[in-house]
Amino acid sequence: MESAPLTVAHLVALLPRALVPHVPSEPGAAVLDAVHISELADPTAYLHGGELLLTTGLALPLTGAGCGAYVRRLVGARVSALGLGLGPVHVAVPRVLERACARLGLPLLVVPAEVPFQTVTRTFWSSVGAQQERSLHAAIDVHQRLVSAAASDEPASAVLAVLADAVGGWATLTDPSGRPLVTQPPERETDAAGLAEEVRRLRPAGARSAATFPVGREVASLHPVVGNGEILAYLGTVSPVSMSRQLRGLLLSSLALLGSDAAHRQETVRATRALTAGVAHLVRAGHVRAAVDLAHALGVSAPPPRVRVLVAVGPTGDVALESLAAALEPAGAPWWGMVTGTVATGLLHATHDWVDDESRDAALTPHAQECAIGVGPLLRLGDVSRVHGAVDDWCRALPLRGVHVWRPDVTPLVSQAWADEVIGALTGEGAELVPLVAAYLRHRGRWEAVAHATGLHRNSVRARIVRAEGLLGGSLADPDVAARVWLALRATGLDSAT
């Protein structure tokens, strides 16, 4: 977006017959900010630096010492080049001036006698005007692209792509903890992860803050993205050079657009969470059919037959819920969350469960700094209401932070009420069948072993198991049914009944 600065070499290229390099023989790359004409012996009071100073040499000292002092003053004033117009005073370049410029490193150009100084000044300012016009059109174009990006289906990614192209580097949007959400170009995501430490350093400074720091040979900038009065994300850019004024303006526009998009997304997420919370409360209360019907009516995902129970305990319920959300939502996992006091409960879709302990801990640990996160068991949806009391008791006993996992070898997450409901019919109408069912489950359905343990004939075992399954409402060959019945028997102390 930025035009290249006009240099001595550029102006010489525009006026090859009007500006002839003398010392050195090739035009320099010094930047030109203005063209100034002066016949004063000491024009430095009227110079700001970066000028091409044109003179006919009317007041030029003709001694080596005097000419050296003249050139030294120009160098001290940061003049980019000296142009000597031949004709009125000098027909050739004085040797003392040539030697002084060569010794002190000031580029010396010659303006032939037939070329008026106005040719040089007009060409310079015309070039500056054209350059500014190009910069203006480029700025308008990039801002139009930015607006179009903000109106696209993926505004954050599109805005970052425009910004990265404009700065000639890459741009990333991170969450408030510094985890990259979107990076453009995408192959720089690994580099973007390196900004997390800088985000953590900047975060205590609040919304009115920014940071600039080196990243290798490049320059990085970091700014908070603010929406609804709070920091919703951080915008990082990395470019070969520091940002110009125009690029800083583009950055501010990007921050405003990203803040608006982040605020909109936040409101959408909160609205969705409010809807799914109603679904989760119905599941917790045992109204599974009503929960599924409500989800369909509200247009949100309905919970599946099996879920992973997660709990978080924090200083407030909202903090606990945000911790669960930060861990689950980036992966796109469907979940249903609710808050009760300082405890947040999440029901995670079983098909999105973690493949191993390492991936689970990597997902949860970064978000368990302000609260404790407990990973409960996989349950049938209908069993959630029966174990929620035990879940609450378990999670309230967790340490203040970190990730904690329920293990099968500790007290299971079942309550007496749940156990009574699961095997109530069996312990009522079929109390005499309890020892047989316990033996059947203990021996994993091996008929010979069950018959030997109970002293019954195999055919009698089969007949009585069929009757027990009728009372239980499911086949004991079904692992889910068998597991629920076994846990219920253990919880009531009937697993070793004889």
Specify the CATH number for the domain of residue 66. Answer: 3.40.1390.20
Domain of 228, CATH number, reads 3.30.450.40
Q: Which two tokens stand for residue 291?
A: 């929960």
Residues 60 and 157 in one domain: no
Tally of CB atoms within 10 A around 240: 10
Are 466 and 366 members of one domain?
A: no
Domain boundary among 73, 106, 125: 125
How high is the mean pLDDT of the chain?
86
The two three-digit tokens of residue 379, written as one number = 């349950």
Backbone angles phi, psi at 237, to 5 degrees: -130, 145
Region of 62 on the Ramachandran plot (φ > 0 left; ψ -120 to 50 alpha; else beta): alpha
370 and 431 belong to one structural domain: no
With beta carbons less than 8 A apart as the criterion, state whether 332 and 314 touch.
no
pLDDT-derived band of residue 448, with 50, 70 and 90 as boundaries? confident
Residues 168 and 261 in one domain: yes
User: What CATH number is given to the structural domain containing 472?
Assistant: 1.10.10.2840
- Compute the distance between CA of residue 228 and CA of residue 433 in angstroms, rounded to an integer: 63
274 domain-assigned: no
Contact 196, 205 (CB under 8 A): no
The mean-pLDDT minimum among 9-13, 260-264, 370-374, 494-498 falls in: 494-498
Residue 41: band (very low, low, confident or very high) from pLDDT cuts 50, 70, 90: very high
Structural tokens at position 262: 């982040």
The conformation of residue 306, written as its DSSP 8-state character, comes to E
Above 70 in pLDDT, residue 318? yes
Tracing tokens 């031949």 back to the chain, one arrives at: 86
Check residue 497 and give its pLDDT: 52
Boundary residue ending a domain (235, 265, 295):
265
Q: Are residues 204 and 116 in the same domain?
A: no
The amino acid occupying position 104 is: L
- Count other C-beta atoms under 10 Å from residue 304's C-beta: 16
Compute the CA torsion angle 267, 161, 244, 37 (nearest 10 deg): -140
The verdict on residue 285 lying in a domain is no
Q: How far is CA 265 from CA 233, 320, 465, in A?
A: 12, 20, 55
- The per-residue b/e assignment along 427-440, b for 16 or more CB within 10 angstroms, e otherwise, is beebeebbebbbbb
Q: State whether 188 and 242 are in the same domain.
A: yes
Q: Which tens digit of pLDDT belongs to each residue from 358-389?
A: 888 888 888 888 888 988 888 889 888 877 76
Rounded to the nearest 10 degrees, how much is the dihedral formed by the CA atoms of 487, 491, 493, 494?
-40
Contact 345, 309 (CB under 8 A): yes
Give me the mean pLDDT over the 313-327 stretch: 87
Same domain as 377, residue 438: no
Residue 131 lies in a domain: no
pLDDT band at 487 (very low <50, low <70, confident <90, very high): confident
In this structure, is residue 332 part of a structural domain?
yes
In sequence order, the β-bridge partners of residue 345 are 311, 338
In a domain, 144, yes or no: no
Average pLDDT of the residues in 466-470: 87
Question: For the segment 411-436, what is each residue's pLDDT rounded down to a tens digit?
Answer: 555 656 667 777 777 777 667 788 88
Q: Are residues 320 and 361 in the same domain?
A: yes
SS3 at position 432: helix
Residue 420 shares a structural domain with residue 399: no
Global pTM?
A: 0.57
Mean pLDDT of 252-281: 89
**Residue 474 belongs to some domain of the structure:** yes
Domain count, the chain: 4
**Residue among 134, 80, 135 at smallest CA distance from 109:** 80
Domain boundary among 405, 440, 465: 405
Domain of residue 310 covers: 303-405
**Which of 49-53, 93-97, 112-116, 406-410 is predicted least confidently?**
406-410
Indicate the SS3 state at residue 280. Answer: helix
What's the Cα-to-Cα distance from 414 to each of 28, 384, 391, rounded to whole Å?
83, 10, 8
> Is residue 111, in this structure, part of any structural domain at all?
yes
Identify whether residues 377 and 478 lie together within a single domain. no
Q: Is residue 411 part of a domain?
A: no
> What is the full DSSP assignment across 68-105?
HHHHHHHHHTT--EEEEEPSSS-SS--HHHHHHHHHHT
Dump pLDDT digits (tens) for 112-158: 999 999 999 999 999 888 887 777 767 777 778 888 888 888 999 99
Q: Looking at the chain, how many residues does it have?
A: 498
Do 316 and 245 fall into the same domain?
A: no
| The two structure tokens encoding residue 96 | 């003392």
Same domain, 110 and 168: no
Q: Which residues contact 85 (CB under 8 A, 6 or more apart)?
A: 54, 55, 56, 57, 111, 113, 115, 117
State the residue for tokens 């949100």: 300
What is each CA distance from 133 to 127, 139, 247, 374, in whole angstroms? 10, 10, 16, 61
The DSSP string of 131-184 is HHHHHHHHHHHHHHHHHHHHTSSSHHHHHHHHHHHHHTSEEEEE-TTS-EEEEE
Q: In which band, very low, low, confident or very high, does the pLDDT at 402 lie, cut at 50, 70 and 90?
A: confident
Overall average pLDDT of the 209-218 stretch? 90
